[in-house]
Amino acid sequence: MNSNSLVSIADISKDEILDLLDRARYFEEHSNSKILDGRIVATLFFEPSTRTRLSFETAVNRLGGRIIGFSDPGTSSSVKGETLKDTIKMVSNYADLIVMRHHLEGAARYATEVTDIPIINAGDGANQHPSQTMLDLYSIYKTQGRLTDLTITLVGDLKYGRTVHSLLMAMKYFKPRFNFVAAKELAMPQEYKDFCDAEGIEYTETADFSPEVINTSDIIYMTRVQRERFTDPMEYERVKDLYTLHNAMLDNSKPNLRILHPLPRVNEIDTDVDDNPKAYYFEQAHNGLFARQAIITRALGINIR
């Protein structure tokens, strides 16, 4: 067990979050620092995810580190049929750090228990994806100049969307106000509303993506509404366009408003929003590089500055 591992955003304190944001800001200015010279990072993608893997591998490469690993266990016969424990122990002999993605929930937590090198969770099924949360926090911080006292509107699939759940939990330190905008079938689960109540976080809940909600928001966080989440296909057809953002809907929004989306999008943000200066989702993805450089250097115990 290595205490620099990052499995869930809920494992780290407010100070650690602020330290990671500080590091991310540093790497935005010094993206090509060669501070991982001689370090080897293993990227183990038991489940393929090109987007996340490229972001992590770019982060390592720009810091001068080396990468070993695999991007699809199907191509790696030695991993197939081997227990996760054995794979992690084997790789621990070679690497200084493991970045792993796995389709099974809890895989990264278990990995931390069988090795002494740090583990970064790059997604474990529907469970946790803390580097996504860090890049979301960094994007909010960068565009608003602060994390405290913001009105954040979460739209779309609030039931299954792990990114919105993790963001909600991480924001508990920063006195946010949330608007939950979703169809009834995809509403925010009770346990997260209980969490808000316990933490004293204000929220509203509505199925109506109304001008009132949009025009009072500092951040609108859009998520994908997937057909397969609905038990009734008719219900999907009825609601799918209600949670699509069009440029005209932003006419009276606050000047500091920014639109976030974890990407990839399907049709929940119309392409006519892309040229609006309030559209931030492409830069948001770019921030993932700095957030991951921050997480990697923290995991390796490297101090910057």
Residue 215 CB, shortest distance to another protein, in Å, is 35
Residue 133 or 217: which CB sits closer to another protein?
133
Cα within 13 Å of Cα(45), Cβ side? 18
87 is catalytic: no
Query: x/- site string to another protein, residues 177 to 216, per CB under 8 A?
Result: --------------x-------------------------
- Using the contact rule CB under 8 A, the part of the chain among 52-60, 125-133, 202-210, 245-253 near another protein is 125-133
| Total residues interacting with another protein, rule: CB under 8 A | 17
Residue 89 or 246: which CB sits closer to another protein?
89
Residue 174 CB, shortest distance to another protein, in Å, is 22
- Using the contact rule CB under 8 A, the part of the chain among 107-115, 220-228, 232-240, 277-285 near another protein is 107-115
43 is catalytic: no
Out of 34, 80, 85, 238, which residue is the one contacting another protein (CB under 8 A)? 85
Closest CA to 92 of 161, 41, 148, 25: 41
Marked catalytic residue, from 80, 85, 103, 246:
80
Q: Should residue 127 be labelled a site residue for another protein when binding is judged by CB under 8 A?
A: yes
Closest CA to 267 of 305, 222, 233, 235: 222
80 is catalytic: yes
Marked catalytic residue, from 53, 62, 102, 129:
129
The span from the CA of 255 to the CA of 250, in Å, is 10
The span from the CA of 144 to the CA of 249, in Å, is 21
Q: Should residue 107 be labelled a site residue for another protein when binding is judged by CB under 8 A?
A: yes
Residue 65 or 123: which CB sits closer to another protein?
123
Marked catalytic residue, from 52, 133, 153, 244:
52
Strand-pair category, 202-206 with 258-260: unpaired
Out of 125, 172, 185, 204, which residue is the one contacting another protein (CB under 8 A)? 125
Q: Should residue 105 be labelled a site residue for another protein when binding is judged by CB under 8 A?
A: yes
Q: Extract the tokens encoding 273.
A: 């929003």
The span from the CA of 172 to the CA of 175, in Å, is 6
Out of 16, 34, 68, 104, which residue is the one contacting another protein (CB under 8 A)? 104
Long-range contacts of residues 109-117, Cβ cutoff 8 Å, at least 24 apart = 109/7, 109/8, 110/84, 110/85, 111/84, 112/1, 112/2, 112/5, 112/7, 113/1, 114/85, 114/88, 114/89, 115/2, 115/88, 115/89, 116/1, 116/2, 116/92, 117/2, 117/92
With residue 98 as reference, give the H or E element that holds it: strand 97-102
Closest CA to 99 of 134, 135, 75, 130: 130
Residue 192 CB, shortest distance to another protein, in Å, is 12
With contact defined as beta carbons under 8 Å apart, do 127 and 106 qualify?
yes
Say which residues have a Cβ less than 8 Å from residue 11's Cβ, sequence separation at least 6: none
175 is catalytic: no
66 is catalytic: no
Out of 106, 160, 226, 270, which residue is the one contacting another protein (CB under 8 A)? 106
Q: Should residue 83 be labelled a site residue for another protein when binding is judged by CB under 8 A?
A: yes
The footprint of another protein (CB under 8 A) covers 83-85, 102-107, 109-110, 124-128, 191
Q: State the catalytic residues.
A: 51-52, 80, 101, 129
